[in-house]
């Protein structure tokens, strides 16, 4: 008899953890993986639990109650299409497929169209929280077919992280909204991670602090109003000793970082939609630069930095760094949320930003204390053009901006690159400028390409012969 209430297809670590989470919350699971290794491991860790593991997609379909609900947990891309193709062969009209991977949103649109033509419901669903989150309560960002969502809502809200503000799961919007929101979540994740790395770099290079001294700073920040998962794990990373050498492990790790695509897609879509996301985009550039290790080694011997000694007033700079990081985090959220807002208009997603902030408050990688006032800001004004224009956040920006200036000065004087904090400063300074130098830009364009320009003092479009014959 079909007793399974929820199918999980793809039993890598994330799939295994989500399957256990669903079962723990009272829903019998049918877990599917064609390959033996993952299936065997799932059998082992789910022994005695209400999980049926199968390596046959046909058997999974037979074991599930109708309408069947299957959550795909495979690496985004071709793997997702392959599982969907298999599922199409065994599912029936009215069944529901949920893609829980980090899919690129255009793929989600395409899959939704294809599956809807086949009479199947599709939910593109962002899931954040890593392995631990998947098991204990992730943040879940489902989008797409709303009617179908209603049918899976009891399961998704139950397995999600829980807060005093409700479950960290809500229907975020139509079409590919779920994966779009998750992609931007990751863009913000890239921004905040890089900002914390830059704070670390200022402390070690500009201030000459040891790893254990820096660790204490991050640990203190973990108890502050900017506390959150990424600040906490930075303290944890800095506390770890290498068992072989006894040194701080962080000092032995190669300084090049990879990426899987979501940060890059965030930068790309922000260019497509014309929404400025300098902090998020520069975080991607910082990772690319980190990858040029051999070039950097060669250049370090040719291109000279300043010879300035380490900054004198360590305590003052550490204090300023707190505010700089705070503002960097605020600009990261501000840019990401402005991007979602524009995408929601462009693609008719119908996203409610206060709800997005609410479901990011726990379970996900970018959870932080800042998200509660962010939720309140968008609750008070759903159409808020920029987070920095909210009363609470404009006060935060005004309070922290001088410190960000100090930190960038210290970093510039000591030759430490602030790829993202510098971008955040320029973002705030641009955004708060009534006048930018684009008047000269317009004149340049008009000079060499007759692109025309507009004037401040008159209506109309103008062209000037700029050069004497
Ligand atoms: C999460 C994470 C997770 C993963 C990303 C980022 O929300 O749980 O964002 O999805 O860490 O894939 O990975 P990269 O840094 O490799 O791009």
Confidence grade of residue 13 (pLDDT, cut at 50, 70, 90): very high
Confidence grade of residue 468 (pLDDT, cut at 50, 70, 90): confident
Please tell me the predicted confidence (pLDDT) of residue 1: 58
* DSSP helix/strand/coil, 144: strand
Distance from the alpha carbon of residue 308 to the mean position of ligand 1, in angstroms: 37
- Taking Cα atoms as reference points, which of 223, 231, 159, 157 lies closest to residue 189? 231
Does the CB atom of residue 335 touch ligand 1 within 6 A?
no
Which run of H or E residues covers position 98?
Answer: strand 96-99
DSSP letters, 454-465, are --SSSSS-B---
Distance from the alpha carbon of residue 21 to the mean position of ligand 1, in angstroms: 20
Chain segment 149-199, per-residue pLDDT in tens: 999 999 999 999 999 999 999 999 999 999 999 999 999 999 999 999 999
CA angle 414, 416, 417 (to 5 degrees): 145
Candidates 23, 86, 189, 355; catalytic one: 189
Q: Is 189 a catalytic residue?
A: yes
* 66-to-49, 278, 378 alpha-carbon distances in Å: 22, 47, 39
* DSSP helix/strand/coil, 256: coil
- Sequence length of the chain is 469
Please tell me the predicted confidence (pLDDT) of residue 311: 67
Show the domains of the chain with their CATH numbers: 6-175 (3.40.50.720), 182-431 (1.10.1040.10), 436-469 (1.20.5.320)
Distance from the alpha carbon of residue 127 to the mean position of ligand 1, in angstroms: 10
Residue 129 alpha carbon, nearest atom of ligand 1: 8
Chain segment 39-48, per-residue pLDDT in tens: 999 999 999 9
Tell me what the pLDDT averaged over the chain comes to.
Answer: 97
Tell whether the model's pLDDT for residue 2 goes beyond 80. Answer: no
DSSP letters, 26-94, are T--EEEE-SSHHHHHHHHHHTTTSSEEEES-HHHHHHHBPSSPEEEE-S-SSHHHHHHHHHHHHH--TT
Mean pLDDT of 458-464: 98
Confidence grade of residue 307 (pLDDT, cut at 50, 70, 90): confident
- What counts of helices (H) and strands (E) characterise the chain? 19, 9
Does the CB atom of residue 102 touch ligand 1 within 6 A?
yes
Chain segment 280-306, per-residue pLDDT in tens: 999 999 999 999 999 999 999 999 999
Nearest protein Cα to ligand 1, atom 1:
128
Question: Residues near 227 by Cβ (< 8 Å), separated by ≥ 6?
Answer: 221, 368, 369
Distance from the alpha carbon of residue 287 to the mean position of ligand 1, in angstroms: 14
Q: How far apart are CA 59 and CA 65, in angstroms?
A: 12
Candidates 182, 264, 361, 375; catalytic one: 182
Q: How far apart are CA 121 and CA 147, in angstroms?
A: 9
Chain segment 203-248, per-residue pLDDT in tens: 999 999 999 999 999 999 999 999 999 999 999 999 999 999 999 9
Tell whether the model's pLDDT for residue 23 goes beyond 80. Answer: yes
Tell whether the model's pLDDT for residue 404 goes beyond 70. Answer: yes
Residue 257 alpha carbon, nearest atom of ligand 1: 15
DSSP structural state of residue 5: S
Confidence grade of residue 461 (pLDDT, cut at 50, 70, 90): very high
Per-residue b or e along 236-256, where b marks 16 or more CB atoms closer than 10 Å to that residue's CB: ebbbeeeeeeeebbbeeeeee
Mean pLDDT of 430-439: 98
Distance from the alpha carbon of residue 17 to the mean position of ligand 1, in angstroms: 16
Does the CB atom of residue 130 touch ligand 1 within 6 A?
yes
Confidence grade of residue 312 (pLDDT, cut at 50, 70, 90): confident
Chain segment 374-395, per-residue pLDDT in tens: 999 999 999 999 999 999 999 9
Residue 260 alpha carbon, nearest atom of ligand 1: 17
pTM for this model (two decimals): 0.97
Does the CB atom of residue 262 touch ligand 1 within 6 A?
yes
Residue 190 alpha carbon, nearest atom of ligand 1: 15
């Amino acid at each position: 008899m079909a007793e399974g209430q929820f199918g999980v297809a793809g039993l890598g670590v994330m799939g295994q953890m989500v399957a256990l989470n669903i079962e723990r919350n009272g829903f019998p699971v049918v877990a599917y993986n064609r390959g033996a290794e993952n299936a065997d491991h799932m059998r082992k860790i789910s022994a005695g639990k209400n999980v049926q593991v199968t390596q046959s997609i046909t058997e999974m379909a037979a074991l599930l109650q109708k309408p069947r609900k299957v959550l795909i947990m495979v690496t985004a891309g071709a793997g997702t299409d392959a599982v969907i193709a298999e599922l199409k062969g065994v599912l029936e009209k009215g069944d529901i497929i949920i893609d829980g991977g980090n899919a690129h949103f255009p793929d989600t649109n395409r899959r939704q169209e294809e599956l809807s033509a086949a009479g199947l419901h599709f939910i593109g669903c962002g899931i954040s929280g890593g392995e631990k989150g998947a098991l204990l309560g992730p943040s879940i960002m489902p989008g797409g077919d709303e009617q179908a969502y209603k049918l899976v809502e009891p399961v998704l809200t139950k397995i999600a992280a829980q807060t005093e503000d409700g479950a960290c799961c809500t229907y975020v919007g139509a079409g590919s909204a779920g994966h779009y929101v998750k992609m931007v979540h990751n863009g913000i994740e890239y921004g905040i991670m890089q900002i914390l790395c830059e704070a670390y770099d200022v402390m070690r290079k500009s201030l000459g602090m040891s790893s254990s001294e820096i660790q204490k700073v991050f640990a203190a920040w973990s108890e502050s109003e900017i506390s959150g998962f990424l600040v906490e794990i930075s303290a944890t990373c800095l506390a770890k000793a290498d068992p072989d050498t006894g040194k701080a492990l962080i000092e032995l790790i190669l300084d090049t970082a990879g990426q899987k695509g979501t940060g890059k897609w965030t930068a790309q879509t922000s260019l497509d939609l014309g929404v400025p996301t300098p902090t998020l985009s520069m975080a991607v550039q910082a990772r690319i630069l980190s990858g040029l290790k051999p070039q950097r080694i060669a250049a370090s011997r040719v291109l000279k930095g300043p010879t300035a000694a380490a900054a004198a007033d360590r305590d003052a700079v550490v204090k300023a760094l707190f505010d700089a990081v705070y503002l960097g985090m605020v600009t990261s959220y501000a840019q990401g949320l402005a991007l979602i807002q524009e995408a929601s208009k462009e693609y008719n997603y119908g996203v409610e930003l206060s709800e997005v902030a609410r479901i990011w408050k726990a379970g996900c990688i970018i959870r932080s204390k800042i998200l509660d006032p962010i939720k309140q800001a968008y609750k008070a004004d759903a159409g808020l053009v920029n987070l920095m224009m909210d009363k609470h956040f404009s006060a935060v920006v005004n309070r922290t901006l001088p410190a960000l200036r100090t930190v960038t000065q210290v970093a510039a004087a000591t030759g430490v690159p602030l790829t993202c904090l510098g971008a955040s400063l320029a973002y705030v300074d641009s955004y708060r400028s009534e006048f930018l130098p684009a008047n000269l830009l317009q004149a340049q364009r008009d000079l060499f390409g007759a692109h025309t320009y507009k004037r401040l003092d008159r209506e109309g479009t103008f062209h000037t012969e700029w050069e004497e014959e």
